Structure 1
């Protein structure tokens, strides 16, 4: 039987994101292989050698690209990566950026224009589309057990004061908000109006946003309520979806991220990976029943990426589509600065994308 060759993925950066949320995920993806890592940090190089002794370590983008790669993944903080992104787009025909892929929609548009000028496909790593609870919700939606959707609530609380102190996190809205907004838009379509409140916290270097509550009025009539707090007394992950025929509540854990941060790797236990032991609850027709967790799979992003490369299909998350998330985050920031004023959102004019 003929099998397509694996795509070769080069990873730039082996910090928190590269080590825990890219390398082991690429390893688990059918059709992709981690071809090499760029890092100049001696500490990171030692960690990579211990984690993946067979993966070559490079000092530069040029050195990695010279070995032959199909895609470059940049796991580098937004404030420090502008020159790296530009160089990567000139060297490789496909570049994937960590979220948030820009600080705002205007910067995102500039990146897209730069990629098009370089003839480069630009994608965004939105792995949480394959969160366990989102995968479970999508399965229930596909079975039409909720009827017409009216409302969606998503809560993502953490006890992570160190990330609030970090200059590179961009604050809770850019960090966790990038995920929650992307999920809501992916599930329920574009935004028409946004309103938000934000909580600001003094840090050792200045003021950073530690929590937010955000409402999206989708163009199709669904209302999403999204909230996150990085200074919560305990971690809490909950989503509730209400339709005219039923309500689904999922209140499990952030199971994949927890496992990855403990050093577990999906390739080592593929059958058990990404399954939350906590059942969800579906209330429909006056009856409540349990809903078992479906299997989450961050590595699905890279499997779809491999398919896109080999068969010239759309990227799993193209940058031109991800601009919508940045627009909502911009509107939320503006709304919060005006005491929760409702802000209208208009689709960005990015022109046609030949890769979507």
Structure 2
């Protein structure tokens, strides 16, 4: 019942390319090379908060064939932080400065890591300027907006991809391997939890209840768990959800459950929460032959937050200790040692930007497309309706 998913692209050493905007992608945004590569592609990162400083800038800087050229932020403190981390980077306060550059100084890729409400207007401006774009998730507030961006990218022949880094989590890669090998038999239920214990509000736009901010966990962590479920088990045909506001003073959902029925019959039960005092398993996958249970989050985000970089100190990237491995088996609890330990495949966030670089050089498709993002957003929209109206939504 579960399809065999394709293996995510892996980074491979490649020659350094010449900057160019002469990309002619297909419907899946696959650029056609028009030159012989000799120089790295120059990248501008718009936004230097959590997404820009922890994820995008470090991963871009660590990718062969890419160079971090510009950071766009109007915040003086973040400008200083970027200069300290990347002394040679250009700093500008406005995205318009990127669109207006002379051709010899133009960037070859824009990464939009700014607040959610800016994703659509900034992506639209970049695509209209003919500049390839990576947009942090969620791409937009609605599936319709995501499809419009996909159509704009197709019309302008400009590369567009969405940053869904959790496709390269260690547990997700391991589960894909187990499914490909048929270790679980036919999957019947997929349980995925992205839970945290954060009883105190942090503030900021992510916790705002203003609709234009696109805040709350449904669109934040929900974007990850829904995308993973769709990649593993295919299209959704039915959605049910419960979204709750638990913490005093909270304005938007901080404890959410989503149930998806996939076209192939698999049921996905997805939990995202900031109010979980006792964390459940990250994955619990039940099949006709065996089950797989895995606790703990992928270590790459924590490593990036602590200042570690892929390949920076020569240590293996994305690996976790043996005691964190998941277990595969039947009829026994993994908490009491039941089942067989399954070595966790190392996480590989660097693979995303390696695939982007390869696509811009004409060597492959965008690692995550806007059309895929639209499918994820359709589920998130259905979940919002389901919770609001107390109904199950058919897609």
Q: Normalising by structure 2, what TM-score?
A: 0.80
Q: Distance in 2 between matches of 1:29 and 1:46?
A: 23
2:259 to 196, 203, 215: 215
CA contact (8 A) 2:120 2:145 kept: no
Q: Distance in 1 between matches of 2:281 and 2:91?
A: 36
Q: Distance in 2 between matches of 1:25 and 1:153?
A: 29
Q: Can you list the C-alpha shifts for 1:300-320, whole angstroms capped at 9, x where unaligned? A: 110111111111532111101
1:310 correspondence with 2:361: yes
Write out the 4+ residue segments of structure 1 that deviate beyond 6 Å after TM superposition: none
Distance 1:141 1:32, change over 3 A: farther
Q: Distance in 2 between matches of 1:314 and 1:203?
A: 45
Q: Distance in 2 between matches of 1:242 and 1:209?
A: 28
2:220 to 154, 175, 187: 175
1:46 to 68, 73, 80: 80
Which residue is 2:54 aligned to? 20
Which residue is 1:73 aligned to? 111
CA contact (8 A) 1:279 1:290 kept: yes
Partner of 2:349, secondary structure, is coil
Superposed, which structure 2 residues align to 1:192-341 within 5 Å? 192-201=237-246, 204=249, 207-233=251-277, 238-269=282-313, 271-277=315-321, 278-283=324-329, 288-311=339-362, 313-339=364-390, 341=391
Q: Distance in 1 between matches of 2:306 and 2:280?
A: 18
1:152 correspondence with 2:190: yes
What is the CA-CA distance between 1:55 and the residue it aligns to? 2.0
CA contact (8 A) 2:45 2:113 kept: yes
Distance 1:280 1:45, change over 3 A: same
CA contact (8 A) 1:274 1:296 kept: yes
CA contact (8 A) 2:45 2:111 kept: yes
Of stretches 94-103 and 249-258 in structure 1, the one that deviates more from structure 2 is 249-258
Which residue is 2:202 aligned to? 162
What is the CA-CA distance between 1:86 and the residue it aligns to? 2.6
Which residue is 1:35 aligned to? 69
Partner of 1:54, secondary structure, is coil
Distance 1:324 1:270, change over 3 A: farther
Distance 1:70 1:143, change over 3 A: same
The gaps in structure 1 that reach 5 residues or longer are 346-356
1:131 correspondence with 2:165: no
Q: Distance in 2 between matches of 1:328 and 1:180?
A: 11
Q: Can you list the C-alpha shifts for 1:259-310, whole angstroms capped at 9, x where unaligned? A: 2222222231464221122111010598721011111011111011111111
Distance 1:78 1:285, change over 3 A: closer
Q: Distance in 2 between matches of 1:237 and 1:40?
A: 40
Q: Distance in 2 between matches of 1:198 and 1:246?
A: 31
The count of corresponding residues between Structure 1 and Structure 2 is: 343
Q: What's the C-alpha RMSD, in Å, of the aligned pairs? A: 2.4
What is the CA-CA distance between 1:223 and the residue it aligns to? 1.0
Q: Can you list the C-alpha shifts for 1:317-347, whole angstroms capped at 9, x where unaligned? A: 11012110000011111111222x22111xx
* Greater helix content: 1
Q: Distance in 2 between matches of 1:274 and 1:61?
A: 33
Distance 1:76 1:203, change over 3 A: farther
Q: Distance in 2 between matches of 1:276 and 1:54?
A: 33
Distance 1:272 1:91, change over 3 A: same
Q: Can you list the C-alpha shifts for 1:96-123, whole angstroms capped at 9, x where unaligned? A: 1111111122222333344344443322
Partner of 1:306, secondary structure, is helix
Partner of 1:195, secondary structure, is strand
Q: Can you list the C-alpha shifts for 1:175-194, whole angstroms capped at 9, x where unaligned? A: 01001000110111111111
Partner of 1:311, secondary structure, is coil
CA contact (8 A) 1:23 1:34 kept: yes
CA contact (8 A) 2:43 2:69 kept: yes
Which residue is 2:42 aligned to? 8
Partner of 2:264, secondary structure, is coil
1:84 to 106, 122, 128: 122
What is the CA-CA distance between 1:234 and the residue it aligns to? 5.5
What is the CA-CA distance between 1:201 and the residue it aligns to? 4.3
Q: Distance in 1 between matches of 2:380 and 2:14?
A: 45
Q: Normalising by structure 1, what TM-score?
A: 0.88
